[in-house]
Amino acid sequence: MQTTQRFVLFLAAQARRFSLKDAVDLGTQLGKSPQSVRASVNRLARSGLLVREPSPRKAARYALSPKGKAMASEVVAKFMRIHDIVEAKNTWDGTWTLVSFGIPERIRNRRDELRTRLREIGFGQLAGGVWIAPGDSTESVNGLADSLRVAGKVMVCVSRDVKLGGEPVASAVSRIWPLSELNRRYASMRTRLKRRIERMRTRIEEGSPPDAREAFLEMFVVNTEIAELIARDPCLPEELLPDRWLGLEVQDLIHEYLHMLYGFEQDDPYAFLLELPEGLHIPQPRET
């Protein structure tokens, strides 16, 4: 999906409904041409992610369709899972969920989608066609299999005694998930976030904080930068993470920065852009 389309969806998720004029104005501040913003809105409406709402002034207004809301809900669920980890609400009980499936070639698109979605909810490939994740993910896997209409072809089990090559599987996490590569990328993200926080802190101290529109656009830029990285993170319990793991530190920096962006006066006419999606909260960064 193009960056401009992602921006429009982000706007729709935050504003719930928006005028085409607001989308164009905000997109221009982000460096997007009016033509590209209008084209993205039209394309998303044609794809069924946005719906056009009637307006007494005949001004075009758009909102997320049920399909678009479902997509937004998946994003919120991902962030909530990370927030739970940062707040140490997820404690690992030593169990593992194992998944195996035999999906025929004639519906390989569903098989490929299952693999992709398993990775998104934290699974890694243990060996051959066996996938694994810490904790009991039975409900999530069964729901995923049902949604893809492959429930009868997916086996799920939960066990504490899982070994690979005679060793406890916990000793092989770095082979199952690309943690070294992720940590390098987190190191780069940590540097960029610290610079952003310092610049924002200076602006606030000097009495020139951003208005709601600028804060919203900054949120979009930051979310765009971190989205792909976070999507690759299996969000393993701390007990399974390597030494000097930077992922949780980066999550704390993200929360610190978002607290700064959400902390401005709410009498701004565009303050609605900074409303949190229902059910989503931003935890306070952990004290170090």
Please tell me the least confidently modeled range out of 2-6, 133-137, 240-244. Answer: 2-6
The pair of three-digit structure tokens given for residue 282, joined into one six-digit string: 């931003």
Task: Compute the distance between CA of residue 14 and CA of residue 186 in angstroms, rounded to an integer.
Answer: 26
Q: Taking the CA atoms of 224, 228, 233 and 235 in sequence, report the sign of the dihedral they define.
A: positive
Predicted confidence at residue 39, as pLDDT, reads 95
154 domain residue, yes or no:
yes
Give yes or no: residues 110 and 185 share one domain: no
Predicted confidence at residue 153, as pLDDT, reads 94
Instruction: State which H helix or E strand residue 133 sits in.
Output: strand 130-134
The pair of three-digit structure tokens given for residue 90, joined into one six-digit string: 């997820």
Q: How many residues does the chain have?
A: 288
Q: What is the mean pLDDT of the chain?
A: 85
Q: How confident is the model at residue 283 (pLDDT cuts 50, 70, 90)?
A: low
Predicted confidence at residue 148, as pLDDT, reads 94
Give yes or no: residues 183 and 262 share one domain: yes
Q: Taking the CA atoms of 147, 136, 96 and 87 in sequence, report the sign of the dihedral they define.
A: positive
Q: How confident is the model at residue 277 (pLDDT cuts 50, 70, 90)?
A: low
Give yes or no: residues 197 and 248 share one domain: yes
Predicted confidence at residue 156, as pLDDT, reads 97
- Using one digit for the tens of pLDDT, what is the confidence trace for 111-159? 999 999 999 888 999 988 899 999 999 999 999 999 999 999 999 999 9
- Using one digit for the tens of pLDDT, what is the confidence trace for 42-78? 999 999 999 998 766 667 789 999 988 887 766 666 6
Task: Compute the distance between CA of residue 70 and CA of residue 73 in angstroms, rounded to an integer.
Answer: 5
45 domain residue, yes or no:
yes
In sequence order, the 6+-apart residues with CB closer than 8 A to the CB of 80 are: 279, 280
For residues 229 and 29, the model is more confident at 29
Give yes or no: residues 254 and 182 share one domain: yes
- CATH number of residue 42's parent domain: 1.10.10.10
Q: Is the pLDDT of residue 259 over 70?
A: yes
Residue 157 and residue 122 in contact, taking contact as beta carbons nearer than 8 Å: no
DSSP-assigned beta bridge partners for residue 17: 63
107 domain residue, yes or no:
yes
286 domain residue, yes or no:
no
In sequence order, the 6+-apart residues with CB closer than 8 A to the CB of 178 are: 232
- Rounded to a whole number, what is the distance in angstroms from the first to the last CA of the chain? 38
- CA angle, 5 as apex, 2 and 8 as ends, to 5°? 155
Residue span of the structural domain in which 104 resides:
96-159
Percent of the chain with pLDDT over 70: 86
44 domain residue, yes or no:
yes
Q: In a 3-state reduction of DSSP, which class is residue 180?
A: helix
Give yes or no: residues 141 and 195 share one domain: no
Percent of the chain with pLDDT over 90: 46
For residues 260 and 286, the model is more confident at 260
91 domain residue, yes or no:
no
Mean pLDDT of 99-109: 94
pTM for the structure as a whole = 0.77
Residue where one domain finishes, among candidates 132, 159, 186? 159
85 domain residue, yes or no:
no
225 domain residue, yes or no:
yes
Give yes or no: residues 207 and 268 share one domain: yes
For residues 111 and 267, the model is more confident at 111
Count of domains observed in the chain: 3
Q: How confident is the model at residue 288 (pLDDT cuts 50, 70, 90)?
A: low
Neighbours of 274 (CB within 10 A): 19
